[in-house]
Structure 1
């Protein structure tokens, strides 16, 4: 690592192989980010994101780009949680995710939790661009601090566009130095894990989901397009995952 931190880029392109499956003509990664193709199911290609090193650390900048072309199906997960840690380099760490999904293509983006360790400072941006007839399942889970530990600073922004129209643009900042109120009753209410699901399906355009509470700590709302948003808070990562899994079952 140099004084400015590590730069790492991973790229995925998924393409209909013409035989009822999905090919991966581009599967490139370097540095701390490693991509591995694993066994998928049916027409789906599955990729695991493997952290080859600790991080991101202070000053690091990681970028993941994925494009799913027309007719392809891609599922991306991670082998383990990502842990944001303090580093020797000054300044915040950055983790940028850029996702593009074409018509009649489908993307499942379901990495493991992001853990904000004490002393870290991480800014995450996720931007998703979808064609009108595409499908998306995106899951984000954030854990503020390891067991018995105060959290680091974590800023997360998620933007989703369908047919070039913004259906979701939200930002959450938590931890030391974040705007006041992030831990109050209107936001996390003292919980230390927060997560969300974004589900985009063309049929939601004609038949939007109904806004409702999904058990203790979770809710679903329709978005301004063929999409729905589930948000959840919980005291620990296990409970958070259970809430999100139950919410997904109710939607689909």
Structure 2
């Protein structure tokens, strides 16, 4: 396989599968199961069904090792995250008379600035095991508009948060909705009463809270000889895999 991130995403699978002959010939007291999921990058879509299948089959693993590009470092914590879509609804009009419409692209710009403000406000709550050590909020995609001389009727902002794992991330969305309603919309509703934002959660995954005494962490440290357990800012399937029936 060739491609950006190929080794990061598939390297662990290849290495693990190469050990199958050795595992098959070993006299194991407990079996080793290989659980291969899909769409981890877009909200860990595959792992939830995989865990249901394991439960249906009566397979209850003692622990789970999730393969990630950690350079053989033992990682025991990661941030929670979500991908969100905010639809900005305005009213079309000619750009020579902006006061007769509501420009959804301009609404989107103010919304992005609001996200930056909320993210800046979270920097004081830090956990220095992570890099960066605070919850982050940022917009990564904007779509909208039909022509340069037409006020945009609709725009879409795709944004994300990556929250410290033991914080309540729902407070972020609550703050975004509340402040957008009070700080941005009054100006646009002065011209267009039904100007509005609609935000939906596209994908979400929980954070993994550090537990240095978990069986998985102890095993990984024993095998690798690692002296410490680290934390990462990206998300993985580890927190989902630590649901009842399996441990980190």
* Bin for the TM-score computed over the shorter chain: under 0.3
Answer with 1 or 2: which has the greater Rg: 2
> Normalised by the size of structure 1, how large is the TM-score?
0.21
The structure whose RCO (Cα within 8 Å, separation 6+) is larger is 2
**Which structure has greater strand proportion?**
1
**Which structure has greater helix proportion?**
2
